[in-house]
């Protein structure tokens, strides 16, 4: 497995890198970023996965997320993958819309042609990329957690619910909590998975909880001035599902904040401190 270093920079007493490899899951080159704080030789550090939202690559959080100081303080490796496969021959939305295709992989394995060959983000993130991280970085893979924003918040919730033994903490910023019930998710799921809503439920946090999936606790921050709040995000559905299931959900409605990285960066350190406490327990 060959790993290409695209760029590295010193920052906050650590190394911020961007890397590229040939993915067998997506059959494309894939890029991701990793921040590794300085550490004693032989030390292995806990890993926080961050899943980005619609239209993003790993660059958005890497450049605007303001996570490095907190990761250096708590001794956390921060991994940010891309949101979808890219490259020649990778199909996109035929109308060029932002909410499907490139930049909008929705962290699932597509089953509908022509997307089923490349759009395999579930397999990539659950199986392939963790192996790359374990091989090439000083990562303690027994201590992992996951977080994300918007579409990536959807991914963090579903990956956490599907793998409660792997991720010690799950949090999200402005997550799509019930994609089967909102326009973004309905478009993506029908395009990637077809019309069988039973298959959709396997990638819908609220439906997963209703079907019995469990984690001990979830942290969510949501801005009250988020333009997508009422139509696409609907955090009240997650609150209701968690209450019925006995999951400890901390849902913080942050007054005046929107959907942007101005919001995410404002509460990133809080989330990382929350993750660090659980990763070091």
Q: Annotated active-site positions, please?
A: 150, 226, 259
State whether the Cα torsion 86-89-90-93 is positive or negative: positive
Q: How far apart are CA 218 and CA 234, in angstroms?
A: 16
**CA 177 – CA 166 distance, rounded (Å):** 21
The Cα 69–Cα 152 span in angstroms is 22
Pairing between strand 29-37 and 167-173? unpaired
């Amino acid at each position: 497995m060959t790993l290409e270093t695209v760029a590295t920079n010193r920052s906050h007493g650590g190394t911020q890198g961007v890397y590229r490899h040939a993915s067998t899951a997506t059959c494309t080159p894939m890029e991701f970023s990793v921040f590794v704080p300085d550490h004693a030789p032989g030390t292995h550090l806990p890993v926080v996965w961050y899943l980005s939202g619609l239209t993003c690559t790993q660059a958005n959080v890497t450049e605007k997320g303001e996570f490095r100081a907190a990761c250096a303080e708590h001794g956390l490796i921060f991994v940010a993958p891309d949101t979808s496969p890219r490259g020649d021959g990778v199909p996109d939305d035929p109308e060029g819309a932002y909410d499907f295709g490139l930049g909008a992989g929705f962290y699932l394995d597509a089953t509908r042609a022509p997307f089923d060959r490349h759009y395999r983000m579930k397999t990539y993130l659950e199986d392939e990329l963790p192996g790359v991280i374990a091989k090439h970085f000083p990562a303690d893979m027994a201590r992992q957690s996951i977080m994300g924003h918007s579409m990536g918040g959807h991914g963090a919730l579903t990956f956490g619910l599907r793998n409660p033994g792997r991720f010690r903490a799950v949090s999200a910023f402005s997550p799509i909590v019930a994609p089967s019930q909102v326009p973004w998710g309905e478009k993506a799921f029908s395009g990637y998975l077809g019309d069988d809503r039973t298959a959709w439920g396997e990638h819908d946090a609220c439906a997963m909880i209703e079907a019995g999936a469990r984690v001990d606790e979830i942290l969510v921050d949501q801005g009250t001035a988020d333009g997508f709040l009422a139509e696409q995000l609907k955090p009240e559905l997650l609150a209701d599902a968690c209450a019925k299931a006995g999951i400890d959900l901390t849902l913080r409605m942050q007054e005046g904040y929107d959907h942007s990285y101005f919001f995410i960066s404002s509460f990133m350190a809080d989330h990382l401190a929350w993750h660090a406490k659980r990763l070091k327990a």
